[in-house]
């Protein structure tokens, strides 16, 4: 697919429901009592994998609409043994390992080629400490989970900042004896904790750790999912880069553990405004407006990385166009995402004419406030890299050809159409 340069982006849009919260709504809904009614479900390749996974395990999920589900929960220990295909979805595989650790029986988890290269021992290790038997294939999928009806709570210190690992341990803790605590090196997204609290679980939150008590039952009822800030980010980046742009994205999730990208944009000098702040359950929502203005360089450090981890490729693109030297550090986790995002971004942006050098844990970028030439980028099967290519194309002189653009459907099937609806050429 070829993305041609834009003259401007103007208008108002809303993006689909948050992917992280959508996965959690289905997994927790499956473990719930009775019906869970999910509104503004962010349907995508990844979240469909989660629906298919719980259906395989005998859970009835009604597709009321594209963005609306009713999940008929089977209770906290009601999932029968089986084989689950997790597709490309790392969040699904990691979280479901935690869910299955506390069920009785043998489960096999498989994934596509990319997911089968991603680290899974980071989840297996704490779950073994809790009493589950887990086998990985050289640290990767396929993974076998031998659940145990007799898990015990642990206090686990995360060796890396990962909401997926934290969530897996907490989900296993629902069916454990005694409390389960996860200590984090730096705070990561807390959607699991918030949803468990809403479901009636006793959750104690401290700045660097979270403890849950085992649950008797989950009562979710209605879940309203806010728009995904990670899906809003490419739109915000495009408007920040294309002169004369002025866009507003409505009903975006503004959970402070997800808004690192907005903070970075502000530090770069972007014109951002947030309106209409309100809450959906325990999550925060608002409308985000951005107007083009010239950007300055920025530094991003490890403490901030979890707050914008999926947006870092876009930060690199912004920095390429921002006057001065930018540095992103402490982002080594990007090397184990759907592809090695540090190298994918460096190779792609350099080929467009940008001054980017990769570091083991991020990038150094010498930014120049001018359009890049453009060219061709291989998405490498990674939805975030395809979206990066699209934004780079809009802000370029000659456009960008994206190889494997279809992969955007992993998180946002309507991405290109919605983006085009804002573009003036």
Note the residues at the interface with ligand S3P (CB under 6 A): 20, 91, 162-164, 167, 189, 309-310, 333
Nearest-CB residue to ligand S3P? 20
Q: Which of 361, 398 has the CB closer to ligand S3P?
A: 361
- Going by C-alpha positions, the residue among 355, 364, 384, 330 that lies closest to residue 161 is 330
3-state DSSP call for residue 19? helix
Q: Which of 374, 381 has the CB closer to ligand S3P?
A: 381
Q: Which of 163, 354 has the CB closer to ligand S3P?
A: 163
Q: Which of 20, 248 has the CB closer to ligand S3P?
A: 20
Q: Which of 321, 383 has the CB closer to ligand S3P?
A: 383
Q: Which of 143, 242 has the CB closer to ligand S3P?
A: 143
Query: Cβ(97)–Cβ(145) under 8 Å?
Result: yes
Phi-psi region of 143 (alpha: psi -120 to 50; beta: other; left: phi over 0): beta
CB atoms within 10 A of CB 292: 19
Q: Residue 310 catalytic?
A: yes
Residue owning tokens 């073994």: 128
- Rounded alpha-carbon distances, angstroms, from residue 225 to 42, 101, 299, 353: 8, 27, 31, 39
Beta strands in 281-332 (DSSP E): 283-291, 299-300, 324-328
- At residue 362, φ and ψ (nearest 5 deg) are 160, -140
From the CB of 261, what's the least distance to ligand S3P, in Å? 13
Contacts of 420 (CB under 8 A, 6+ apart): none
Q: Which of 3, 233 has the CB closer to ligand S3P?
A: 233
Tell me how far apart the alpha carbons of residues 79 and 99 are, in angstroms, rounded to a whole number: 9
Spot the catalytic one: 18, 310, 378, 382: 310
From the CB of 237, what's the least distance to ligand S3P, in Å? 17
From the CB of 9, what's the least distance to ligand S3P, in Å? 25
Tell me how far apart the alpha carbons of residues 118 and 140 are, in angstroms, rounded to a whole number: 6
Query: Cβ(413)–Cβ(45) under 8 Å?
Result: yes
From the CB of 167, what's the least distance to ligand S3P, in Å? 6
Tell me how far apart the alpha carbons of residues 290 and 248 are, in angstroms, rounded to a whole number: 6
Q: Which of 162, 211 has the CB closer to ligand S3P?
A: 162
Report the DSSP beta bridge partners of residue 106. Answer: 146
Segment holding 356, helix H or strand E:
strand 355-359
From the CB of 362, what's the least distance to ligand S3P, in Å? 15
Phi-psi region of 244 (alpha: psi -120 to 50; beta: other; left: phi over 0): left
3-state DSSP call for residue 48? helix
- Rounded alpha-carbon distances, angstroms, from residue 237 to 112, 264, 265, 328: 30, 11, 9, 17
Give me the active site residues, please.
310
């Amino acid at each position: 697919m070829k993305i041609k340069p834009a003259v401007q982006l103007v208008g108002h849009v809303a993006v689909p429901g948050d992917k992280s919260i959508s996965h959690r709504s289905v997994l927790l809904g499956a473990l719930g009592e009775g019906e869970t009614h999910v509104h503004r479900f962010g349907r995508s390749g990844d979240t469909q994998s989660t629906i298919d996974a719980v259906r395989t395990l005998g859970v009835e999920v009604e597709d009321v609409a594209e963005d609306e589900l009713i999940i008929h929960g089977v209770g906290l220990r009601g999932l029968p043994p089986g084989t689950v295909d997790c597709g490309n979805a790392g969040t699904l595989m990691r979280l479901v390992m935690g869910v299955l650790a506390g069920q009785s029986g043998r489960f096999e988890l498989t994934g596509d080629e990319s997911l089968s290269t991603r680290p899974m021992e980071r989840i297996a290790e704490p779950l073994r400490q809790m009493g589950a038997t887990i086998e990985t294939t050289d640290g990767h999928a396929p993974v076998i989970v031998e659940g145990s009806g007799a898990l015990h709570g642990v206090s686990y210190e995360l060796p890396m900042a990962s909401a997926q690992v934290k969530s897996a341990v907490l989900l296993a803790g629902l069916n454990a004896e005694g409390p389960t605590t996860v200590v984090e090196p730096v705070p990561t997204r807390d959607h699991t904790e918030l949803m468990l609290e809403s479901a009636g679980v006793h959750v104690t939150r401290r700045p660097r750790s979270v403890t849950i008590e085992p649950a008797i039952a989950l009562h979710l009822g209605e879940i309203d999912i806010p728009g995904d800030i990670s899906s809003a980010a490419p739109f915000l980046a495009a408007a920040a880069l294309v002169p004369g742009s002025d866009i507003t994205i409505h009903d975006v999730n503004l959970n402070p553990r997800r808004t690192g990208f907005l903070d970075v944009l502000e530090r770069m000098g972007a014109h951002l405004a947030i309106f209409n702040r309100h809450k959906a359950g325990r999550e925060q929502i608002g409308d985000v407006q951005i107007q083009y203005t010239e950007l300055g360089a920025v530094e991003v450090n490890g403490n901030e990385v979890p707050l914008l981890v999926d947006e870092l490729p876009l930060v690199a693109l912004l920095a390429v166009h921002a006057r001065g030297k930018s540095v992103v550090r402490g982002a080594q986790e990007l090397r184990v995402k759907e592809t090695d995002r540090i190298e994918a971004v460096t190779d792609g942006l350099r080929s467009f004419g940008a001054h980017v050098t990769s570091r083991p844990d991020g990038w150094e970028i010498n930014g120049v406030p001018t359009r890049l030439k453009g060219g061709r980028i291989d998405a490498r099967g990674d939805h975030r890299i395809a979206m990066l290519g699209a934004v780079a194309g809009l802000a370029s002189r000659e456009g960008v050809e994206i190889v494997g653009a279809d992969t955007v459907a992993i998180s946002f099937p309507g991405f290109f159409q919605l983006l085009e609806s804002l573009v003036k050429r």
